[in-house]
């Protein structure tokens, strides 16, 4: 599904065109976005279902990190932000291949890393496990691109 009834094609130049027009990943959601990235990976010869090299592992990680809900669900004060996108991420159009930051909006602590899951685990060990203010998100909460655009900073 693409917001505002635009249809995203399966060719890499389609996505680049949307980016140039100000259409980024926040307009791609659900199965349509997943299909686009599957087509992109296939057209470039990447196998992220069974990654065999560091490039395929990085792309698999970047695709997984497009939705940070699994991290944000832990506490409503946790924030995940993209610090930078690697050259590979820019080349394949996946901005989450690069450095991410996991931080606490309440206390200002943060940790940066390339692997969102490992970065989050480290952050939780260092800052969250003994935090008396930790507040899990409601089970019905879902991450969306609209939430991301309007999230507390």
Does residue 34 carry a pLDDT above 60? no
Structure tokens belonging to residue 34: 């997943």
How many domains does the chain fold into?
Answer: 1
**In this prediction, what percent of the chain has a pLDDT beyond 90?**
52
- Name the one residue in this structure whose structure tokens are 């496990």: 129
Residue 109 lies in a domain: yes
Q: What is the pLDDT of residue 99?
A: 97
For residue 121, what pLDDT is reported?
98
Confidence check: pLDDT of 142 > 70: yes
SS3 (DSSP) at 121: helix
1 located within any domain: no
CA distance 136 to 147: 17
Q: C-alpha angle 105/144/65, rounded to 5°?
A: 75
Please say whether the beta carbons of 8 and 32 come within 8 A.
Answer: yes
Of 30-39, 40-49, 83-92, 117-126, the poorest mean pLDDT is in 30-39
pLDDT in tens, 9-24: 444 444 443 343 334 4
- Tell me if 99 is assigned to some domain: yes
Distance CA 15, CA 31 (A): 15
Q: Does the pLDDT at position 101 exceed 60?
A: yes
Helix-helix angle 54-64:30-44, to 10 degrees: 170
Write down the pLDDT at residue 32.
Answer: 43
**pLDDT over 80 at 40, yes or no:** no
Q: Which domain holds residue 86?
A: 68-133
Specify the CATH number for the domain of residue 98.
Answer: 3.30.160
- Least confident range of 28-42, 49-63, 93-107: 28-42
């Amino acid at each position: 599904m693409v917001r505002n009834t635009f249809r995203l094609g399966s060719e890499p130049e389609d996505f680049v065109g949307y980016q140039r027009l100000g259409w980024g990943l926040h307009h791609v959601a659900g199965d349509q976005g997943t299909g686009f990235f599957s087509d992109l990976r296939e057209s470039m010869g990447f196998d992220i279902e069974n990654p065999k090299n560091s490039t395929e592992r990085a792309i698999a990680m970047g695709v997984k990190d497009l939705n940070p809900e699994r991290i944000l669900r832990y506490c409503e004060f946790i924030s995940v932000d993209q610090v930078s996108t690697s050259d590979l991420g820019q080349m394949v159009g996946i901005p989450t291949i690069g450095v991410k930051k996991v931080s606490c909006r309440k206390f200002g602590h943060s940790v940066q890393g390339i692997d969102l899951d490992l970065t989050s685990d480290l952050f939780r060990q260092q800052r969250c496990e003994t935090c008396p203010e930790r507040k899990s998100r409601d089970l019905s909460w879902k991450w969306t691109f609209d939430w991301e655009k309007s999230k507390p900073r």
